[in-house]
Amino acid sequence: MEYGYLAKIYDQLMKEVDYKEWASFIEKCIKKNNSTKRNKLLELACGTGNVTIPLAKKGYEITAMDRSIEMLSQAQQKAMESNLHLKFYQQDMLNLEIDEDFDTILCLCDGINYILDPEDLKVFFQKVYSLLKERGVFIFDISTFYKLKYILGENTYGEDLGDIIYLWENYFCEEEETVEMDLTFFQLSKEGLYEKHKEFHVQKAYHREVLDSLLKKTGFSTVDMYHELRDSPPRENSQRIFFVCQKLG
What one-character-per-residue DSSP string does 208-240 give? HHHHHHHHHHHT-SEEEEEETTSSS---TT-SE
Range 45-70 average pLDDT = 95
Could you tell me the pTM of the whole model?
A: 0.94
Do residues 108 and 27 both lie within one domain?
yes
Domain containing residue 130: CATH number: 3.40.50.150
The secondary structure element, H or E, covering residue 74 is: helix 69-81
Hey, how many other C-beta atoms are within 10 angstroms of the C-beta on 218? 21
Which CA distances in Å does 28 have to 21, 23, 69, 71, 132? 11, 9, 30, 26, 19
Do residues 156 and 199 both lie within one domain?
yes
The dihedral built from the CA positions of residue 117, 119, 121 and 127, taken in this order, carries a sign that is negative
**Among candidate residues 106, 47, 43, 40, the one with its CA nearest the CA of residue 78:** 47
- Per-residue pLDDT tens digits for 142-193: 999 999 999 999 999 999 988 889 999 999 999 999 999 999 999 888 888 8
Q: What is the rounded distance in angstroms from the CA atom of residue 211 to the CA atom of residue 148?
A: 16
What domain range is 194 assigned to? 147-204
Q: What is the rounded distance in angstroms from the CA atom of residue 72 to the CA atom of residue 47?
A: 6
Return the pLDDT at 2. Answer: 55
Angle of CA points 37, 229, 129, to nearest 5°: 50
Do residues 212 and 155 both lie within one domain?
no
User: How many domains is the chain partitioned into structurally?
Assistant: 2
Do residues 135 and 242 both lie within one domain?
yes
Band of residue 37 on the pLDDT scale cut at 50, 70, 90: low
Band of residue 194 on the pLDDT scale cut at 50, 70, 90: confident
